[in-house]
Amino acid sequence: MAVMSYTGRDILKHVDHTLLKATADWAAIQQLVEEAVEFETASVCIPPSYVKPVYEKYGEEVTICTVIGFPLGYMTTAAKVAETKQAVADGASEIDMVINLGMVKNGHYANVVEEIKAIKAACGKKVLKVIIETCYLTEAEKIALCQAVTDGGADFIKTSTGFGTAGATLDDVLLFKKHIGAGVKIKAAGGIRSIEDMVAYLTAGCDRIGASAAVGLLTNRLDETFKSDTMSEK
């Protein structure tokens, strides 16, 4: 893998600054958004019920990402489509949907593709990321889902919700790189809690990182340079 370097600011431009705890209150959401604006993260990823108030208060100051079918993914496609339409109407620019793992375990990949297509249609030109929850999948299922995400027309494949039994791994990201179609990007999420982790995932080929700790880790290190081989700072 090539040696790459990133400043703290570079890293944050790839971060979806995330708060998805069920108990998150408005004060915590506001703090998250204000950090995202100040440090120019790629987006804020927040619960659907907070999309409208965040958009009303901050408008275009921040890119709003929200989650659909979260965190288990086993609701009907119609319910997910309705959620997506509401989120877009409320001001979301990016949608992170969870696949139906039951479809995968039954081998119904065509149904997975159709669900992704339906949600992408509801998104229109908004960004769609598809969470496949790798911790519950075999390698063969992960490979099949790379094809399903590609065929469904999604913009990203995403590793994890952060609510499963495990989160992102570099092995999964490298597997995705081999099997996703042209134009599909990768988002790693779940368990990414250090600068070293973030640099490793960016170097491996991720375009986005879902993290709650990134701003705190990099607030006072924005202009330092982090190398992927040694993680030395300048």
Domain boundaries, the chain: 14-219
pLDDT at 1: 57
Q: Does the annotation mark 105 as catalytic? A: no
Count Cβ neighbours within 10 Å for each residue of 169-197 and write b for 16 or more, e otherwise.
Answer: bbebbebbeebbeeebbbbbbbbbeebeb
- 162-166: average pLDDT: 97
Q: Does the annotation mark 229 as catalytic? A: no
Given the residues 90, 158, 172, 197, select the one marked as catalytic. Answer: 158
Q: Does the annotation mark 207 as catalytic? A: no
- 46-58: average pLDDT: 98
- How does pLDDT run across 24-41, given as a tens digit for each residue? 999 999 999 999 999 999
pLDDT at 230: 45
pLDDT at 151 over 90: yes
Given the residues 96, 155, 172, 197, select the one marked as catalytic. Answer: 96
Token pair belonging to 16: 């979806």
Model confidence band, residue 228 (pLDDT cutoffs 50, 70, 90):
confident
Q: Name beta bridge partners: 226.
A: 6, 233
pLDDT at 232: 38
Mean pLDDT is lowest, of 10-24, 121-135, 173-187, 219-233, for 219-233
- How does pLDDT run across 83-115, given as a tens digit for each residue? 999 999 999 999 999 999 999 999 999 999 999
Architecture of domain 14-219: Alpha-Beta Barrel (3.20)
pTM: 0.95
Instruction: Give dist(CA 168, CA 201) in Å, integer.
Output: 9
Model confidence band, residue 19 (pLDDT cutoffs 50, 70, 90):
very high
pLDDT at 46 over 70: yes
Half-sphere exposure of 132 (CA within 13 A, CB side): 33
Report the mean per-residue pLDDT for the chain.
96
